[in-house]
């Protein structure tokens, strides 16, 4: 299977993860306004399964290192499989809670709170499990990224001045989603052998773990997403019949594309875990908030008509983000 042979390549793959995780939501923007998010999310979950299977049968089955995808799945013990499935279940609920929080409280409140908590907690949990890298430099870098996220919130807040919002419920949902998001990655990592080339018996390689993880997402969708469809925390309810009535091939393909983009990022993040350490690979990936902000600034022109001082905040946001990113990267060899 394909395994990064150097830390430098692992960092490149983590940066691609960050771009993917910060970009998949653009597919929802491209979807029709008559296509509610819970319906989009079914195709998104399907896209994650499809990409994980494709990667497993290609990258996960080529070369001489490690075990091939199907062989690896066949030898995985129940503990590893359950761990990866739990990761998918946790991630799915966390993702839906943060999306619901964005609908209620807005991007300026929900995203920084949720992803900020997920970033700090996720790096901490994964570092405690596998302490790779200098902790002072690593967490200083994480701190700078969190500052960048806070500045991002202030900038978005300037755009929403004068708009009535009810953020209390949104804040609570963001906190819950962020805490869950901070733990899912550890369950995936726990199912994977720390030696990819000669994996331990019973544990999985990254490709198999991500596939099982994706199954956890899709199966749990029948519980979590069904709830959000019929009992939305805000807005109108949707039904399974709406999925077929309102959808068309283009909308379905856009949703599947969103899942594929996210899963490319997830796969590359996990593949990088051996050389980078799971704390660093997760931390770099969750810098996706700034990638999403870049889309908002340069493509969607969200700050074009912002009040005075907004552009200065945007510049500071990217400055702190780049500095934090640099520290996270160099912490591995410090």
Task: Indicate the domain borders of the chain.
Answer: 7-333
Q: Which among 57, 81, 61 has a CA at the least distance from the CA of 213?
A: 81
| pLDDT value, residue 166 | 52
Question: Rounded to the nearest 10 degrees, how much is the dihedral formed by the CA atoms of 305, 306, 308, 312?
Answer: -120
| pLDDT value, residue 65 | 84
pTM of the model: 0.93
| pLDDT value, residue 257 | 97
- The CA distance from 231 to 100, in Å, is 12
| pLDDT value, residue 162 | 59
| pLDDT value, residue 280 | 96
Blockwise average pLDDT, block size 10, the chain, 334 residues: 94 96 89 86 97 97 91 97 98 93 74 87 95 96 93 81 66 92 97 95 98 98 96 89 94 96 98 96 90 84 81 92 94 86
């Amino acid at each position: 299977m394909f395994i990064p042979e150097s830390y430098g390549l692992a960092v490149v793959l983590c940066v691609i993860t960050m771009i993917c995780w910060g970009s998949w939501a653009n597919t929802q923007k491209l979807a029709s306004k008559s296509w509610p998010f819970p319906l989009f999310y079914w195709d998104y979950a399907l896209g994650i399964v499809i990409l994980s299977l494709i990667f497993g049968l290609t990258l996960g089955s080529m070369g001489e290192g490690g075990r091939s995808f199907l062989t690896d799945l066949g030898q995985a013990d129940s503990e590893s499989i359950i761990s990866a499935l739990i990761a998918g279940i946790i991630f799915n609920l966390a993702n839906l809670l943060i999306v619901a929080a964005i609908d209620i409280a807005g991007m300026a409140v929900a995203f920084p709170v949720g992803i900020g908590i997920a970033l700090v907690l996720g790096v901490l949990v994964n570092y405690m499990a596998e302490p790779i890298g200098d902790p002072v430099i690593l967490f200083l870098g994480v701190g700078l990224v969190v500052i960048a996220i806070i500045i991002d919130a202030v900038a978005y807040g300037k755009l929403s001045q004068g708009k009535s919002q009810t953020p209390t419920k949104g804040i609570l949902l963001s906190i819950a989603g962020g805490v869950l998001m901070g733990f899912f990655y550890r369950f995936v990592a726990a199912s994977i052998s720390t030696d990819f080339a000669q994996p331990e018996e019973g544990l999985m390689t990254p490709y198999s773990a991500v596939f099982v993880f994706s199954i956890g997402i899709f199966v749990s969708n029948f519980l979590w997403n069904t709830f959000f469809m019929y009992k939305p925390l805000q807005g109108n309810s949707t039904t399974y019949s709406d999925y077929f009535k309102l959808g068309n091939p283009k909308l379905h393909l856009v949703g599947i594309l969103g899942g594929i983009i996210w899963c490319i990022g997830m796969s590359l993040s996990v593949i990088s875990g051996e050389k980078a350490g799971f704390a660093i690979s997760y931390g770099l990936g969750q810098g996706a908030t700034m990638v999403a902000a870049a889309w908002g600034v340069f493509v969607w022109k969200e700050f074009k008509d912002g009040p005075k001082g907004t552009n200065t905040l945007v510049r500071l946001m990217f400055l702190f983000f780049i500095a934090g990113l640099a520290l996270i990267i160099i912490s591995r060899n410090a």
